[in-house]
Amino acid sequence: MALLNDLAKKKEGLVNGHRLCPGCTHSVIMRQALAAADTDKYDIVIAAATGCFEVSTGLYPYTSWNVPWIHSAFENAASTIAGVEAMYKVWKKKGKTNKDIRFIAVASDGGTYDIGLQALSGAIERGHQFLYICNDNNAYQNTGNQRSSATPFGASTTTSPNGTIIQGKTQPKKDIMSVLEGHHMQYIAQASPSNWRDLMDKVKKALDVNGPTYINVIEPCTTGWGFPAHKAIEIAQLAVDTCVWPLYEVVEGKVVINYKPKNKLPVEEYLKPQKRFAHLFKKGNEHLIEEYQKQVDKHWEWLLKREESGISY
Amino acid sequence: MGKKVALTGNEAAAHAIRQINPDVVAAFPITPSTPIPQNIAQYIADGKMDTELVTVESEHSAMSACIGAAAGGGRVMTATSANGYALMWEMLYIASGARLPIVMAVAARALSGPLNIHGDHSDIMGGRDSGWIELVAENSQEAYDNLIQAVKIAENKDVMTPALGAFDGFNISHSIEIWEMEDDDKVREFVGEYEPLFPLLKTEEPVTHGAWAPPDWYFEHRMSQLKGLLNAKDVVVNVGKEFGKAFGREYGIYEAYKMDDADYVIVAMGSVCGTTKDVVDSLRDNGVKAGLLKLRLFRPFPYKELADVLSGAKAIAVLDRVSPAGAQGGPLFNEIRSALYDANNRPPVINYSYGLGGRDTQPVHINSVYDTLKKIVETGKVEKQFDCLNLRGAWG
Amino acid sequence: MAEKLLDWNEVLIGATIKDPGNSRSYETGSWRVERPVWNPDECIQCMFCWVYCPDSSILVDENGKMTGIDYDHCKGCGICVEQCPKKSKALTMLLEADAKGKSEEEIRKEAFSK
């Protein structure tokens, strides 16, 4: 991986003037991803799902994209990029281009875990060459923080609010990585913008696979999660250090954990700075934090065991 | 030279697509259009066409992949019916808004519920305001001819609007008829090469497709889009003439069957027109001045031309192969009546729903419509503005 | 935007945008309440500010080294200051109100004296 100084010299694929909230990490993730792409070797074409990121970077007559970019709807980033990629095969076949083009689809958890899951599954099964990046901000943030299947247990959202008898979301978060694993893809990974080098390595690896790949990225949302803008990267780092968001890869079915915190922090460290979890710290709700910790530990232990087993497809 | 073949409407559509040989087809099977993607897959497997076929997991993804492929830069086609068309709905508007000249074969079918797989126009009438050009065929020959012309119409630089070529599910899609298939070379020569305007794959000139348009831009884009759709009307006529020159079958926006001196006129679209023509012939043999106005181009709706050709009639019945669904009548009826409002001579116009969910419409039913028209002219009274053909129990 | 907006028959079809990255002409710097202030003397050129900036507002030279902040676009989120390993010596936040009407030198003095 190149030094940051070298990467900073590159022409950026995503530029400023976009309307994302101050401190939004959508653009941080995409800037890191595009910096990692080996654009001396290949060009990039992107399809985006409807969401904060899309509306903020493609607001007519403005575009923040320096690379070819298409948005069509919410649930179909994967099938849209599949179409572009199919046309690319035709261009290659007919000699209309001699370029090496790699494809990226980007969506958030709403467009991935929920409404876009079918299109994603179909496109993966068909084997199109594309990297699907899910910027997981744990809820439907573009419409104002409604719960999704990616919303973690206990989080208060506008459709899983904290109330007098129900304390936030009662169900655990969907394990999308396992759902995707079922497609037996060559490469799946989970990353965080706080660990930029790790994220960049993963993007570079994924883009070199001649087939579908997937990277799940935590995307701390200052407005939805309720933390001050300057804390965005810190929150992502806390998610990693508490093992709420383990950094790992599944390579041909084999789990590789990329980061094992020397001092695994208790989940409180991650939950405390976020308003969406504030109610968990009220007297009488201790069991909810315990439950949260239990879910995180269980998953982390399972991952460790998977890695230890060395089992692949 | 073309050759006479005895094949189904679906096969006619599949052959048209094979001969056009689009860059990409993305399709999902649904009755009654399933044989189209099946045949295409077989043609590709046998090396008879080299289209990239994307066997998507739903119709929503079919149209999404069509949009991605067309924006990528190239010629794109698909096929569907009924609920599949309905599942595409959201994307139909996006395809037309993005001005991507995708061409789709629709074996028109009833929408659920209750579930029914048979022919009617619920799908294409439901999507009539999605900004697509809609051509409706009477038979397999027209289904084939329309798809070939649709490519040229949609891709015309003044149009750049997606187009569908519809034909009735089962009545046409599954009926074997004799029709003329043209030579592959001649069809390819007729449709020509397509040069996309802003291909995503031309990475040296990065474009943004699908930015959202706020209130100070959306209206302008919608009207710009409307202009493209409206431009299609003249292009349909010109391409119809060109097609006539190339293949000997000329097309316009409608077919006026024995309309010159017609007093009693039926307006309809699709396979029922064949039955109606037979009835018109026998009525004419008996001295009844019956006529048929078969509409080919439903969108953009050629209201001026229709008002001109219809205003000489003494009474008109419009046949809609859908339920009026709470409107004053079916969509064709409403548009025809509205078109006649500004005519000097405004004949009475009545409406029938017919053929829903594959219900048969026979000469006896069409005869009853002409009888009613005659009665209206004789008595000067319209007893029922809306009625149903071949429905058990009197409607009303 | 001061220029005349295009009429319906002037817009590019399909709402296509042919001018890549033209959002740069839209200045989001006015959103700012606080601004990051840079002290080049203390900067170790780790470029963490660059890699974490949501608004591509860390200016770099042809060697990929930080040369300052793009105040036309910086929204003042403060991530750069938070992630700067120099702990408020190379980058720190200052209220826009306190920067108003001051020279770069004065702003720096004001910011790092706190």
Q: Which of C6, C8, C20 lies nearest to residue B206, judging by beta carbons? A: C20
CB distance A172 to A295 below 8 Å: yes
How much is the pLDDT for C2? 56
Are A145 and A153 contacting, i.e. CB atoms less than 8 angstroms apart?
no
Q: How far is CA A164 from CA A22, A172, A264, in A?
A: 33, 20, 33
Q: For residue C5, how many C-alpha atoms fall within 13 Å in the half-sphere facing its CB?
A: 14
Nearest Cβ partner of B220 from C7, C14, C16? C7
B91 lies within 8 A of chain A by CB: yes
pLDDT band of residue B307 (cuts 50, 70, 90) is very high
Q: Show me where the domains of chain A are located.
A: 11-309
Which chain C residues are within 8 Å of B224, Cβ to Cβ? Answer: 8-9, 11, 13
User: Is the pLDDT score of A223 beyond 60?
Assistant: yes
Position A198 scores a pLDDT of 98
A244-265 pLDDT, tens digit each: 999 999 999 999 999 999 999 9
Query: Which of C13, C32, C55, C92 to probe the A interface (max A CBs under 10 A)?
Result: C55
So what CATH class is A11-309?
alpha beta
User: Under an 8 A CB cutoff, do B56 and A79 touch?
Assistant: yes
Decide if A63 and C17 are in contact by the 8 Å CB cutoff: yes
The whole-number average pLDDT for the span B122-147 is 98
Helix (H) or strand (E) holding B147: helix B140-155
> Residue C114 — pLDDT band, cuts 50, 70, 90?
confident
Determine whether the interchain pair C60/A9 forms a contact, defined as Cβ–Cβ distance below 8 Å. yes
Question: What's the whole-model pTM score?
Answer: 0.98
A84 with A108: CB under 8 angstroms?
no
Average pLDDT over every residue of B331-350: 96
Cβ–Cβ of B197/C16 closer than 8 Å? yes
By Cβ distance, the residue of C15, C27, C79 closest to A232 is C79
Which residue of C50, C60, C78 is in closest CB contact with A229? C78
Across the interface, of A59, A78, A86, the residue whose CB is closest to B52 is A86
Taken in order of first residue, the domains within chain B and their CATH numbers are 3-247 (3.40.50.970), 254-388 (3.40.50.920)
Note the pLDDT of residue B1: 76
Is there a contact between C56 and A16 if contact means CB atoms under 8 Å apart?
yes
Q: What is the mean pLDDT of residues C60-82?
A: 97
| Residue-level pLDDT at A166 | 96
Question: Looking at residue C104, what is its pLDDT?
Answer: 94
C1/chain B closest Cα distance in angstroms: 12
Scanning every residue of chain B, which has its alpha carbon at the shortest distance from the alpha carbon of A103?
Answer: B201
**With a CB-CB cutoff of 8 Å, which residues 21-40 of chain C face chain A?**
21-28, 31-32
Complex-level ipTM beyond the 0.85 threshold: yes
Q: Is B284 exposed, middle or buried (0-12, 13-18, 19+ CB in 10 A)?
A: middle
Domain extent listing, chain C: 27-112
pLDDT, tens digit, 9 for 90 and up, residues B16-28: 999 999 999 999 9
pLDDT of residue A1: 56
Confidence of residue B242 (pLDDT cuts 50, 70, 90): very high
Share of chain A above pLDDT 90, in %: 99
DSSP structure class, residue B15? H
pLDDT of A190-214, one tens digit each?
999 999 999 999 999 999 999 999 9
Please count the other Cβ atoms lying within 10 Å of the Cβ belonging to residue C26: 17
Assess B314–C contact: CB distance below 8 Å, yes or no.
no
CA distance C2 to chain B (A): 14
Find the angle CA(C65)-CA(C67)-CA(C71) to the nearest 5 degrees: 130
Which residue matches tokens 């067309």? B70
Q: How far is B345 from chain C (nearest CA, A)?
A: 36
Closest-CA distance, B90 to chain A, in angstroms, reads: 8
C17 in contact with B at a CB cutoff of 8 Å? yes
Q: Is B71 on the interface with A (CB under 8 A)?
A: yes
The answer to whether A193 touches A29, Cβ cutoff 8 Å, is yes
- Pick C11's closest partner by Cβ from B205, B208, B224: B224
Q: How does the average pLDDT of chain A come out, rounded? A: 97
Q: Distance between CA atoms of B281 and C113, rounded to whole angstroms?
A: 99
Q: How many CB pairs under 8 A join B and C?
A: 53
Number of C-beta neighbours around residue A269 at 10 A: 13
- In this complex, the chains that touch A, judged by 3 or more CB pairs closer than 8 A, are B, C
Nearest Cβ partner of B65 from A65, A66, A80? A80
Buried b (16+ CB within 10 A) or exposed e, B168-205: bbbbbbbbebebbbbeeeebeebbeebebbbbbbbbee
A37-63 tens-digit pLDDT: 999 999 999 999 999 999 999 999 999
- Contact (CB<8Å) A58/B67: no
CA atoms A123, A126, A131, A136: torsion sign? positive
Position A2 confidence tier, pLDDT thresholds 50, 70, 90: confident
A287: amino acid identity, one letter? H
| Residue A183: count of CB within 10 angstroms of its CB | 15
Listed residue (C51, C94, C30, C4) closest to A19, CA to CA: C30
| B219 contact C CB<8A | yes
A45 touches chain B (CB under 8 A): yes
Residues of A in contact with C17 (CB under 8 A): 58, 60-63
Indicate if the pLDDT at residue B194 is higher than 80.
Answer: yes
The answer to whether B124 and B82 are in contact (CB under 8 A) is no
Tokens 């000699």 label which residue? Answer: A95
Nearest CB to C54: which of A23, A59, A61? A23
pLDDT reading at B63 higher than 90: yes
Q: A44 near A101, Cβ under 8 Å?
A: yes
CB contact under 8 A, B57 and A122: yes
| Chain A residues with CB-CB distance to B72 below 8 A | 45, 83-88, 91
Predicted confidence (pLDDT) at residue C1 exceeds the cutoff of 70 = no
Inter-chain CB proximity B208 and A65 less than 8 Å: yes
Residues from chain C contacting residue A19 (CB–CB below 8 Å): 26, 28
For residue A211, with 0-12 CB atoms within 10 Å meaning exposed, 13-18 middle and 19 or more buried, which class applies? middle
Closest CA of chain B from A181, distance in Å: 19
Nearest CB to C23: which of A3, A17, A230? A17
The pLDDT of residue B24:
98
**Contacting subunits of B (3+ beta carbon pairs below 8 A):** A, C
Cβ–Cβ contact B286 with C under 8 A: no
The CA distances from residue B132 to A254, B163, B201, B298, B340, in Å, are: 48, 5, 25, 10, 24
Contact assignment for A62 to B72 by CB distance below 8 Å: no
Angle between helix B363-379 and B272-285 (nearest 10): 60
Asked if the Cβ–Cβ distance from B209 to C14 is below 8 Å, we say yes
Q: Cβ distance B161 to B130 under 8 Å?
A: no
pLDDT of the residue at C87: 87
Task: Name the closest residue on chain A to residue C48, using Cα atoms.
Answer: A4
Give pLDDT, residue A27: 98
Bridge-based pairing state of the strands A130-136 and A139-140:
unpaired
pLDDT digits (tens, 9 = 90+) for A144-176: 999 999 999 999 999 999 999 999 999 999 999
Write down the pLDDT at residue C54.
Answer: 98
Name the DSSP class of C10: T
Contacts of A96 in chain B (CB under 8 A): 73, 201
Q: Kindly indicate whether the domain formed by C27-112 is annotated with CATH number 3.40.50.11540.
A: no
C: neighbours with 3+ CB pairs under 8 Å?
A: A, B
Phi/psi at C17 (5° precision)? -115, 120
pLDDT at position A91 is 98
- Residue at A7: amino acid letter: L
